[in-house]
Amino acid sequence: MNLFSKILFFFYCFLGTLTVADAQINPPDFVCVKGDTLVWETPINNCGSFNSYEIYFSADFAGPYTLLASITNPTTTSFVHNDPSGDVWYYYFISDFNCPGQTAISSDTLDNLSPLLSPLDFASVDGTFVNLDWEPSPSPEVVAYIVYRTTDIGTVAIDTVFGPTAYTDVNASPNTQSEVYSLTALDACGNTSLFTDFHRTMFMESEVSPCEQTVRLSWNLYEGWSGIQQQEIWLGLNGGMMMPIDTISATDTDYIYENANDGDFYCFYIRAVSEDGTAVAQSNRICQSLDITQPVRNLYLKNVSVITNDSVELTWSWDTNAAITLSNILRSSNQADYSSVLSTTPEFPLQAENQLADLKANPENGKTYYIIQTIDECDSIAQSNYVATVFLQGTSLENRSNEIQWTAYDHPFAELIRYDLYKELNGQAVFVQSFDPNTRTYTDPLDINLEQEARNQYYVIAIAMLELPDGTQDLITSKSNTVNLQQLTKIITPNAFAPYGKNTFFRPIFVFESQIQKYELVIFDRFGSRVFETQQSDEGWDGRKNGQDLRAGVYVYQIRVTQFNGEVVEKSGTVYMLR
C-alpha cells in the first residue's frame, strides 16, 4: 500500500468522514522482490468479503501491464514468478474485495532488480567524528542503508541506518588518517544495491618554521566527487570564530601561512567545495600555540632631533615581543650610503618606545639621515623608515642683518605643521617667528644699539603630525642644528679733529665693539713716517708725537680689527688735524 492509500485508509477507519463513493480498497503492502519471489503484507479492508489479490506485471515500467496471478488465499504473503530467462519485470498488486462502489487502488510498482544505490554527498570531518550525508535511493522498497568504512582488514560494514540519510561515525580516526567510506541501500528482503563511489576525507598535517614565521599545511585531496570547484583555508585565532582567509585551486595540496605570531593560538582546517557547488567537506582541524622567533614587523623611526651640534637624539618604536638580539643606528649624509654608528644589545623586556643619542654626529655640516636596523635570533635584518635632521645655515649681512635658511623637514610618515625660529640672546632662547611649511628662509634685522645683537645663535624647530602605518598618531618636534652668526665690527672714523678744539683726539667709533679681540691703530704723516700707534681700542691720537705737537695737516690712518671669530676688518683713510 502506498503512502497516499494509507492516509485515505486512516481517515476512513478512524474519522468516518468519507462517503461510500469516495472509499478505496487497499492493496497488499508490496514489500520487495527476492529473486523470483514477490513478498507482501496483507492489507486491511473491512468493506466486504475477500475475493483475491491480483498481481500484474510488465517488461516496461510504463506498461502495458498483464495479470500474472490471482491469489485467492487472503493469508498468502508471497508468490514465485518462475523466470528462467532472468528478464527484468515490473509488478504491482490490486485487492479484489466485494465492496460495491469502492475503487481498488494499486500498490507501489517494484522490479525484480536489486535496489538502486544512494550516492554519497560528502564525508566531512567534525572534531573526532566524520559526518556522512547521502541522497535517498530512488527504489521505494529500500528500508535502510549500510555504511562501510575501509580499514586495515578491508572494507567492512560499520552500521545500518534506518530512516535518515545521514550518519555520524563516532569511531573514526580522522585526526590521524584519511578515512574512506561507501554505502549500500537495503530492502526488506535483504537485497542490497551496488556500492556507492568511495569518498575519502581530507587529512591535514602542519609544519611550523620558527625563523620564517610560517605554518605549512599539507593534505590529500578530497575524493568521491566528479570534481572539486575550489578549496578554502579556514583559520580561528586565539579561540575566535573560524573564518575563511584564502581560496585556493582545486588541485593544491600545500599552503603556507605567513607572518605567524609567537604565542598565538591557531586553528586551521581545509574546506573543499564540490564541482557543482552542492556539497562541502572539511578536513580535520589542527590547533596549536606557536613557538616561533618573533620578528620585528612594526619598526618605525618616529623622530630625530638635534641636541647639540655634535649629537642627535633618535626616537623609535618596535614590537615588544620581538626576539631582537642587536639594534643599530645607521647614518648617512645622502640617504644612500648608510653606515652603522652605534650598536646596542636591547634590554628585556623591550619597551614600545625607545630613545638613544648619536654622540658623534655632525648635524652642523649638513642634513643627516638616520635608519634603525635590528637583527633577531634568526639573523634576520629589519630596517625602519628614514628620518632626516633639519639643517640650518646663515650669513651675516653688511646691512646689519642675518639671513637664515634651513632644509625641509624630511619624514615619510609626518605632515609638517610649521617651523618656529628661535635665537639666543645672553643665553636665553627668544622666539623670533613662525613660518608655514613652504617657507624656509628669513632675514633677521638687528638692533645696532644692542651690543648683544653682535653675536646670535639661531635654531629652528619643525612641528609635525606623525601618523605611522600602524595607526599611531603623535605630535612631534624636531630641532635643527644651531648656527652662530657674528656681525663684522663696523668702523666709523671722523674726517677731522682739533687737539685744542671740540674733538681733541682722533679715535674710531665701533658698532658691535664687543666682537673685537685684537685692535691696532697706526697714524702716518704725509712723508710716511709713523707718528702714533696703539693696540687699545679706547685710546685715541691727540695730535702729538713723543709729547710734541705736530703741525696741522692731513695724516693717514690704518685700522686693523681681529674679531673673536677670526674675521679681520681693516680700514684706512685720511684725517685732517686742525690747530
Tens digit of pLDDT for each residue in 524-548? Answer: 999 999 999 999 999 999 999 999 9
Identify the band that residue 19 occupies on the pLDDT scale cut at 50, 70 and 90.
very low
- Are both 301 and 213 inside the same structural domain? no
Residue type at position 244: P
The CATH number of whichever domain residue 394 belongs to comes to 2.60.40.10
Domain boundary among 200, 224, 250: 200
Q: How far apart are CA 412 and CA 409, in angstroms?
A: 10
- Are both 133 and 11 inside the same structural domain? no
* pLDDT for the residue numbered 411: 98
Q: Average the pLDDT over 296-305 and give the result.
A: 96
Domain boundary among 51, 86, 111: 111
Question: Residue 10 — φ and ψ, nearest 5°?
Answer: -60, -50
What separation in angstroms does the CA of 195 have from each of 86, 146, 155, 179, 181?
22, 10, 11, 16, 10
Q: Provide the whole-model pTM.
A: 0.68
* pLDDT for the residue numbered 257: 98
The CATH number of whichever domain residue 510 belongs to comes to 2.60.40.1220
Burial of 229 (C-beta count, 10 Å sphere; 0-12/13-18/19+): middle
Q: Is the dihedral of CA 166, 172, 175, 177 positive or negative?
A: negative
Chain segment 372-382, per-residue pLDDT in tens: 999 999 999 99
Work out how many domains the chain is built from and give that number. Answer: 5
Q: How many residues does the chain have?
A: 579
Residue type at position 546: N
Identify the band that residue 575 occupies on the pLDDT scale cut at 50, 70 and 90.
very high
- Are both 46 and 157 inside the same structural domain? no
Geometric angle at alpha carbon 378, from 375 and 379, rounded to 5°? 40
* pLDDT for the residue numbered 512: 73
Chain segment 200-252, per-residue pLDDT in tens: 999 999 999 999 999 999 999 999 999 999 999 999 999 999 999 999 999 99
* pLDDT for the residue numbered 357: 97
* pLDDT for the residue numbered 1: 38
- Are both 464 and 336 inside the same structural domain? yes
- Are both 322 and 405 inside the same structural domain? yes
Mean pLDDT taken over the chain: 92
Q: Average the pLDDT over 13-37 and give the result.
A: 71
- Are both 536 and 434 inside the same structural domain? no
User: DSSP secondary-structure letter at 12?
Assistant: H
Is the pLDDT reported for residue 110 higher than 70?
yes
**β-pairing, 455-467 with 473-479?**
antiparallel
Domain holding 528, by residue range, is 490-577
Q: Average the pLDDT over 103-108 and give the result.
A: 95
Geometric angle at alpha carbon 350, from 344 and 355, rounded to 5°? 55
Query: Per the structure block, which three cell numbers stand in for 578?
Result: 686742525
Question: Residue 331 — φ and ψ, nearest 5°?
Answer: -130, 150
- Are both 35 and 165 inside the same structural domain? no
- Are both 368 and 431 inside the same structural domain? yes
- Are both 416 and 306 inside the same structural domain? yes
Is the pLDDT reported for residue 18 higher than 60?
no
Identify the band that residue 11 occupies on the pLDDT scale cut at 50, 70 and 90.
very low
**How does DSSP assign 454-484, residue by residue?**
GEEEEEEEEEEEEE-TTS-EEEEEEE---EE
- Are both 397 and 525 inside the same structural domain? no
Taking residue 248's Cβ as centre, other Cβ atoms within 10 Å add up to: 14
Q: Is the peptide bond before 28 cis (omega within 30 degrees of 0)?
A: no
- Are both 174 and 34 inside the same structural domain? no
Domain boundary among 58, 85, 111: 111
Identify the band that residue 564 occupies on the pLDDT scale cut at 50, 70 and 90.
confident
CB contact at 8 A, 373 and 379: no
- Are both 13 and 27 inside the same structural domain? yes
Torsion of CA 184, 186, 192, 198, to 10 degrees: 0
